[in-house]
Structures are given as C-alpha cells and as structure tokens.
Amino acid sequence: MTITYDEIIDGDQFEDLVASYFRELKDSKENNITNVEILQSGIGTDGGRDILIEFDISDDIKIFKRKWVVQCKFHNSTISPSNIQTVNIPSLIHSYGASGYLLVCKTRPTAGLTDLFENLNVNCSHRYQYEIWNGNQFLSKIYFKSNLHPIFFPLYNNYINSIKNKS
C-alpha cells in the first residue's frame, strides 16, 4: 500500500492537508523557519487565495518574513490556465504583500499552465515567484510528514503501523 489521495474526500480536506503541511515546517529541524502563520480563506469564493502563509526565516543574522499566496486545486483532471483564469495572480500577490503564488494540485498541470508560470517568473517586473506543485510532488513531501498520516491518511497509517508491529 502506498500513500495516495484516495483518502482525501474533497477540496476542503485537501486544503486542510496543505495548510497542515506548512504548519509542520515550523517544527522541522532541516530548515531555518522559526515560525509559520497560516490564514485559510474559509468557505465560499476565495478570489484565488485558499491559504496565506507567512514564514519567519532566520539566516543566523536576522529573522525576515516571507509571505506566499497558496491556491489548492483538488480536481481529477489536469489543471489548465482556464482553471485559474478568473484570478489576476500578480494583483493577488500584490494585494497581500506576498513574495509569490503557489498552486498545489491533486493532478498534473497542463503544458499551457506550466508555460504560463514560467513566463510569469521570467517577465514579472515585481520579481514575484510563481510555483506549481503537482500531485506527486506534494505526496512525496507528505510522505515524510508522518504526523499528518493519522489525520489525513488513516488507512495508510494503520497499514504502516501493522507492518511495524509485526517486526
């Protein structure tokens, strides 16, 4: 058995998983993140922002803040530019005083969406960052956050624990 999105029931739970992943980064010892603030948009139209994340990062001299606008797409089909066409992403980033925009997808983005983000990264006059995590990329990150497994992947978690108990 492997970890899959089969145990995630809807987009709201997927959004909670993404938010929980970023909360876990605060407790991780492999980065310089000293604090993580998460603000979820809640139920209803979100205008392209599901989660606003603010990191406090230390470079051993000073702590500085970095903010990201995160949108989650829990679609069974590929994500294309038409799935986000109602959002003016640079304006959205600017309105929150963020550094960038992260799109987290259950599936894969189309080549058109990947090209759009690449062009935004190259041509953005404000130096905003535009990133996409496809479903497999995000699952590989979740795999190492075992604290999230009992909450979001209970069947997978039970399977892993049964194997550990047999040894």
Give pLDDT tens digits for 105-148: 999 999 999 999 999 999 988 889 999 999 999 999 999 999 99
pLDDT at 42 over 90: no
Residue 106 to residues 26, 147, 151, Cα–Cα distance (Å): 24, 20, 18
> How much is the pLDDT for 70?
95
Describe the chain by its helix, strand, coil percentages, rounded to 5: 40, 25, 35
Share of the chain above pLDDT 90, in %: 71
CATH topology of domain 8-147: Trna Endonuclease; Chain: A, domain 1 (3.40.1350)
Domain boundaries, given as residue ranges, for the chain: 8-147
